[in-house]
Amino acid sequence: MAAVKRFFPHIAFLAIAFSVAAVVVGQLVPDPYLDPVNVTVSEYAVADRGGVTEAGMAVLGLGSFVLLVALRAAGAPIRGLPQWLLGIWSGALIVAAVVPTTPIGADLTMTGQIHRMVSIAAFVSLPAAAALLVPRFAADARWKPIARTTEWLALAGGLGLLAITYVALPGDRVMIGLVERVLLGAEVAVLAVVAAWLVRLSWGKSVRILTYHKFLTN
């Protein structure tokens, strides 16, 4: 199991990359008349007959969970509320992928309400986790190099949350698709930065172990 866990950072990073590619492809497959500026990713997913967007969301959720396990195994400073928020993000994405939203123009159904609630949970949890991780990363020598990047992405996520809250409520959904995509971009960027750094740390550890082993056998 320990040998498998060494690959978790790589699996997480590849899952994030795959999910981004799948969601981008899913935006191109449905009705070309759907406007990405005013239509959310979830509404695209309903129109995506091949399920590419849902697959991307599910893989992102699973990859985020693998990343969480890898961070804990690496001793990253995530214990407490940050790890719970990362867990909420992962679980909410998987549920959102399995439970679709209501099609455009239809009355909101029970499944649509569930999808909306878990989407809100996902949108809020990751920027909050990133904000809490900034001072922890800054205080940890191993993670300090990505503290500033995480801080900027957490700020972008927070501003995105404010923007999408305004657009979804008093803003009458004007450009909601664009705002949501910017927010999701900031959130996925946080995961990508953390996963990429964890991969780098794992490679460094592997090199040190290999060097030490050669030293002992010579």
pLDDT at 32 over 80: no
pLDDT in tens, 166-202: 998 888 888 999 999 999 999 999 999 999 999 999 8
What pLDDT, on the 0 to 100 scale, is given for residue 48?
Answer: 66
Q: What is the C-alpha separation between 66 and 172, in angstroms, rounded? A: 37
Amino acid at 175: M
pLDDT at 215 over 80: no
Asked whether 104 and 46 are in contact (CB, 8 A), the reply is yes
Counted residue by residue, the chain has a size of 218
Record the pTM. Answer: 0.88
Least confidently predicted of 19-28, 142-151, 194-203: 19-28
pLDDT at 4 over 60: no
pLDDT at 1 over 80: no
Supply the range of the domain harboring residue 189: 2-217
Q: What is the DSSP letter of 149?
A: H
Amino acid at 74: A
Which whole number is the average pLDDT over 128-152? 97
How many domains does the structure of the chain reveal?
1
Where residue 175 falls (left for φ over 0; alpha for ψ -120 to 50; beta otherwise) is left
